Every structure is written in C-alpha cells, then in structure tokens.
Structure 1
Amino acid sequence: MFGKRKNKKVRKKPNTFVQVANAFMTLIILGIVIAGGLLYYGINQFNAAGPVKEETIFAVPQGAGVSTIARKLEDEGLITNSFIFRFGAVALDKDTELKAGEFRIAADSSMREILTELSEGRAIQYNVTIPEGFTSWQIVERLRAAELLTGEIENIPAEGTLLPNTYNFERGATRQSVLDQMKEAHDEALAEIWENRDEGLPIETPEELVILASIVEKETGLAEERPEVAGVFINRLNRGMRLQSDPTIIYGITKGEGTLGRGLKRSEIDTKTDYNTYQIDGLPIGPIANPGIESMKAVANPAETDALYFVADGSGGHAFAKTYDEHRANVAKWRQIEKERQEAAEAAAEAEKEELQRQEAEKLDEKSSDSAE
C-alpha cells in the first residue's frame, strides 16, 4: 500500500512592485508628517511674538526685494528666521507689496505683524519748512541742507513758482521731489485764488498777481496787514503812481541770493533796473520772492482803503497815510525811532565794552596780588 503523501506549502514569491509601492507610500506619509510638522512649526514661529522688546525703527532700502528685506530683518534681530518670513510673505501674496522707507516696529511684533506693517503701514514722515517770502535760491539752499533728502537739484526754479509751506517726505526722498510738491501746490493755490479775485483789479494775469504778492510778502511780516498793504499798492497802480518798494531794489541787487545786510544807498535807489520800482512804472519784471497763500489772497482781495503810503511804525507794523504830508510826518516819527534805537544800541555796546575792560582790569589786579605774595 502506498502511504499518504504529505501536502507541501508552496511559498509565494514576494511581489516587488507591492514592496516598492509600500515603501513609496511610507515615504510619502513620512514626508507629509514631516512637512506638516515643519509647516506647523513655521506657522507658529510666523505668528509668535518677536525677539525685539522695544519699539525699533527699521529701514527698507529703495528697490529691495523680499529676500533682502528678510535677511536685513534677521541681521537686525527683528525676526528669528528669514526663510519663514519669506515663505509667509509669498504665502500671503505680499512679497511684492513691501514698501521702501522707515517703519516703526512695535515691541514683541511677530513676523506676520512686521509683514503687515511693511506692506500696509505708512513709512515715517519727516518734514521741511519753507518760510513765506523765501526766494527760490534760499529754498534750494534749505533743501540742500536737509540731510534726510537725497539727490541734487540741477536748476533753481523760476522765482515765484513755489509755495512756501511745511512739506512731508520719507527718508531718502529726493530734493527734486519736494520741489515738485511745492510747484504743484503753488499752481493749485494760484488757480483757485485767481478764480476768486475781485473784479476791476489793475492786474491782468496770474503771473502779475504773484509779482505783486511777492512785494506784499516782503513789505510786511504781519498777516493782518497784508490786505491793507496790497490795497495801497492797488491804489497806486490805479493812479499810475510808482510802487516805490525798497525790497524790489534789494532783489535787483542780490537776485534773491541771500540778504543785502545793510541799508540801501542813494545811488542804488536812483539806479534804474528791471526791479527798481522807484525808477520804473508798474510792476517789476518778475516776482522778488515766493509769496505764501495769504499774500496772494491779499492781492486778489485787497482791503478797501484810501491810503497811498505806509512806513514802519516801530511796533513791527506800519503807519498808513492818505496824503503825502501825513506820510512825511509818519516817516519823521520812524526816523526818530530809528535814531533812538541806534543811540540805545551804541550805549549798550559802550556799556558792554566798559564791563569787559573792568573785568580785565580785575584779572590783572588778581595776578598782581598773587605775584606780590
């Protein structure tokens, strides 16, 4: 008899494809876990309070990209990881929205908050103040002295084309850009003032208004006097009288480059120039300064007055007169005030000189006493 045959188990050959697929899936899952962990870590870091413990000024250079800005933030200790900042900027679609300028970064600011500030916040503003009555040369000199501005100014703008005021700018702005602001502000203000001028003025163009306003600006520093000073000049123009304004003579001498630094000479008053309103009829050839809005308004809407003359009254203002005799009396008063002030100044200078001499004599006496001992 034949015995029973034992069944042998047949071992299946491993399926290579399945093994590779399993391994691949394992790697994918592991990668997802790692990526998820990194993403979770990055998001936490992106939103976590930053390392800076007090408000800090951060400057974004003009034209800098997100990579440069991120490295600069890390180098200056405002963030802990430039890669996370760059990734967050790209993820939030703000990598191309970062603005140049200086920004205030609050204490403990997260990367997200810093990104928001650099993309949506407003850069720190600085300002430069141009006084009313500055000439274009003086304005350019002031802008050249402003260290936070950049670039050169190649040409001095025409006189009377800039509006004195306080202008804001960001660090690194160009000097020319501030001049452009002043030119635009002047044009807008002049257009409105010209549109609302009184009827019947002896002024035919906006440019003539600016010329007369520049004279008014240089004649008085008191805002409340401008309409009356303008009224005097309007009266003189209407009567064919010469304006006889000292500042016009001075501008003809200096061309607006600084101050004269002394009184006018008789020969200068008698010399005919395109600006000397003692020697020419009507307005000078051009403005003698850059007038402010109030002086332009004063010319466009002058005070109703019968005055034809004015002279300083010693108080910072002027004494106005309808007749030449009244004016001569006011001039005599002013001359007396000038004389008294000059005498007082000379007396003060003499007293100061005597005091210095006395102090020097005391020092010599002390030295003599020390030597004797």
Structure 2
Amino acid sequence: MWRSVASNALTLFIVILVVAAAMLAWGRQQFSGPGPLAQSICVKVDKGASLSSVSRTLEEQGAVSDARIFRIGADYSGRAAQLKFGSYLVPPGASMAQVLEALTAGGQSTCGREVNFRIGVLKSEVVLRELDPATDAYVDVVKFDPTAAAPAEFTEAAADADLRWQVTLAEGVTSWQVVESLKQANFLEGTVAEVPPEGSLAPEGYEVARGSDRGALIAAMQARQLQVLADLWAARADGLPYDTPEQALVMASIVEKETGIASERKQVASVFINRLRQGMKLQTDPAVIYGITKGKGALGRGLRQSELRRETPYNTYVIDGLPPTPIANPGRLSIEAALNPDVTKYLYFVADGSGGHAFAETLEAHNENVAKWRALEAAQGAADEGGVQGN
C-alpha cells in the first residue's frame, strides 16, 4: 500500500513538474513573443506609478496580453523598480520584453507632446505638437506668437511635467534675432550678456529642459557651429579663394541669404567664388541690406540707388572681396557649399520665376535672363491687377 501511495505521489510530482515547466515555457513565450498591438500607441508612465498600475494600463490599452505575466517578467528581469516616467511609443507587435525595455531604459520620452520654439527669419512662433502613434509623425496642436498671450490649450499642456521642449533656429537668422527671440521664451531662465558674433550659431534644433539657462543654450549653439565648421573645413576643396574658416563662414552666410533651395547652393557658391578669383565685386544685395539693418530684422523694402552707391563695409557693390563678417547664421548645407562648391564658369544669376535662379557665364546671357525675369514680373503684376479688378 505504501509503495502504491509513494508511486502515485511521485507520478503526481512529475506531472506537477511537467505542468510547471510547460507553464514557465508558455509564460516565457508570452513575455518574449510578438505582442497583440495592431498599431502603435503612446503609453504614459506617471511619476511614482507602480508596476501594478502600469501593467494594468498596458493590458487595458492592448499593449500586453496579460498584466500578471508582464509583472512576473519585470520581477524576474530585475526591472520591476526601474520604471521611468514619461510617454513612450510602443510599436505594433512589440513583445512584453520590448515594452518593458522602453519603459525602463530612461532617456527622453519618445511619444506624447512637445513644444517647439521656432526662431525664424521673419518671425518666431511657439508650436505645441503631438505625436500621432498611427503615423509616427507629429501634428500641430496649436501655434502662436510668443509675444502674445498663450492659448488655454498650451497653458494646460505646459503644466505636464512630461512635456518636452525644443528650440529651433531657422537657417539664415541673425544672432540679434536669436537673442531677442530667446528673451520671449518664458520657459527659459537667465540672460545673454551680449549678442554673439554673427554666424557663430548653428541653425538646428536643440532639446532643452524647462528652466534651462539662455546663456548655456547660446554656448551650445556656438559649440555646435564651431564643430560643423571645423569638420567641413577639414574636408574642403583645394584652391578656394579664402584662407581661413572664418572667411568661409562669411561666404556661407551670403549663399544662405541668396537662395533657399538646397540643390542650387553649390551653384550660387560657385558664382561668388568665380567672382573672387577674377577680382570682380560680389554685388550681393543681402550683404548691403545687412550693412543697413545690422541684422536687426528685415529691411521691409527694396534697396535704394543711394544705398547701393554708399560705401560701407558691407556694400559689396563698392568694396572688393568679402564683407568683414558673416551676414547671418548659415546652416550646414551652405557651409558645405562654400567649402565644396560646384565647378562652373558661372558669374551671374537671377531669379527665374520658379523660386530658383537662372545662371549665366556671360553678361550677355545674364541680361537675357534678366529680361525674361522682368517679363515674368510684368505679366504677374498684370495678372494680379486683373484679379483685383475682377473681385
């Protein structure tokens, strides 16, 4: 009898072991295998949230198939107490292991809302954006002038500790514009002692935290521009008509202000480089305008003949060579164009009516392009007048 009992007990024990092993294998497969999500979602982890509450939220949102298995896996991997607050993008089919990795790896949130403080050539604006998980693209929620009262939707979002902040400089902004705009960024602190040298700020996007110091941000912009210039200077073409990176930066700023089309920047650079090599005056209007405005906003009108004749350090119709400083903060593509221009014989260019420019090697060909442009302007003017009369 005892032998039978022992035999049955052993059998039961073996069955239990087999079942436990099968359940463990199933649990591991559930934890590591593809998850149930059919499309991306944003998962928010609040400050101080427990693993239990987060796992239930994940199950409710369909990110995991079983909250208990998720908790057991987190405990087993030693990450149960490592949740990082924030909003995280969980892609389709993400396993529980991948979801746990996203929620415990730390770093910046990958989902949710962000504020982009954009400093543009003509104006600055504050944009509240939100990631659409279905498309993995940001959509604008609200935008407004930083000098105006903030909309209620923005004020509400700004109270969220998980909100991300970014400052973006457009290519071609001046240093004065950057400093003046940053004064309106009320999520930053501190002052900027003086306007940094023109051209010394890299037009890019900068991730910041609420309460970041304005002076430290300016320093980061300068450090990035120095690195970009150093990298591209080291890879420059041979035989360029300037001797220092600073001169290349001046050329890059002229290219930046002459065209907004990335594909023709190297052609524009070739025109001015060819002029320098031949001892021609650069005759670039943006430089003349900078001599008038000192980079403090747009001129808002056309240049006068008296201004084109007046001798100033930036009047490239009068002076020889480059102006003494950059006339804006050029982006990487314009710096690259100044240091690796196209090899052409172009000496002239003029607008072609499409947003780009028509290039020419001779004055005769250039004059023909100018005539075409003026005819287009006249036709456009007549069409605009006709439209007004018809309304």
- Where on the TM-score scale, by shorter chain, does this alignment land: which range? 0.5 to 0.7
Separation of aligned partners in 2, 1:130 and 1:137: 12
Question: Which residue, 156, 171, 178 being the options, matches 1:139?
Answer: 178
- State the AA in 1 paired with 2:213: T
Separation of aligned partners in 1, 2:384 and 2:87: 54
Q: Does 1:188 align with 2:230?
A: no
Corresponding residue of 1:315: 354
Corresponding residue of 2:374: 335
Question: Which residue, 178, 190, 215 being the options, matches 2:217?
Answer: 178
Separation of aligned partners in 1, 2:87 and 2:374: 60
SS in 1 for 2:343: coil
Corresponding residue of 2:251: 212
Question: Which residue, 116, 119, 122 being the options, matches 2:107?
Answer: 122
Separation of aligned partners in 2, 1:176 and 1:348: 50
Corresponding residue of 2:289: 250
Displacement after TM superposition at 1:343 (Å): 2.5
* Equivalence map 1:1-373=2 (5 Å): 55=44, 103-104=85-86, 121-122=106-107, 125-352=164-391
Displacement after TM superposition at 1:223 (Å): 0.4
SS in 2 for 1:145: coil
Separation of aligned partners in 1, 2:108 and 2:361: 55
8 Å CA contact 1:215–1:248 kept in 2: the answer is yes
User: TM-score under structure 2 normalisation?
Assistant: 0.60
Gaps of 5+ in 2: 1-42, 50-83, 89-101, 110-163
User: TM-score under structure 1 normalisation?
Assistant: 0.63
8 Å CA contact 2:351–2:357 kept in 1: the answer is yes
Could you give the per-residue CA deviations for residues 71-127 of structure 1, whole angstroms, max 9, x where no partner exists? xx9xxxxxxxxxxxxxxxxxxxxxxxxxxxx95289xxxxxxxxxx9x984366421
- State the AA in 2 paired with 1:307: Y
Bigger strand fraction: 2
Separation of aligned partners in 1, 2:272 and 2:187: 41
SS in 1 for 2:308: helix
- State the AA in 1 paired with 2:284: S
Aligned-residue sequence identity (percent) comes to: 50
Displacement after TM superposition at 1:350 (Å): 3.7
Separation of aligned partners in 1, 2:179 and 2:273: 31
Corresponding residue of 1:109: none
| Structure of larger gyration radius | 1
Separation of aligned partners in 1, 2:232 and 2:221: 16
Could you give the per-residue CA deviations for residues 229-270 of structure 1, whole angstroms, max 9, x where no partner exists? 101111000000000001011101111111111111111111
Separation of aligned partners in 2, 1:309 and 1:105: 52
Task: Name which of structure 1's ranges 147-156 and 321-330 shifts more when overlaid on structure 2.
Answer: 147-156
- State the AA in 2 paired with 1:308: L
Separation of aligned partners in 1, 2:376 and 2:323: 31
8 Å CA contact 2:44–2:85 kept in 1: the answer is no
Separation of aligned partners in 1, 2:365 and 2:190: 54
- State the AA in 2 paired with 1:237: L
Displacement after TM superposition at 1:272 (Å): 1.1
Separation of aligned partners in 2, 1:335 and 1:57: 61
- State the AA in 2 paired with 1:212: M
Gaps of 5+ in 1: 1-53, 59-69, 74-101, 107-116, 353-373
8 Å CA contact 2:189–2:213 kept in 1: the answer is yes
Separation of aligned partners in 1, 2:261 and 2:46: 41
8 Å CA contact 1:123–1:170 kept in 2: the answer is no
**Against the structure 1 CA distance between its residues 322 and 127, is the aligned structure 2 distance closer, same or farther, given a 3 Å change threshold?**
same
Displacement after TM superposition at 1:185 (Å): 0.3
**Against the structure 1 CA distance between its residues 152 and 270, is the aligned structure 2 distance closer, same or farther, given a 3 Å change threshold?**
same
Could you give the per-residue CA deviations for residues 299-324 of structure 1, whole angstroms, max 9, x where no partner exists? 11110101100001010100000000
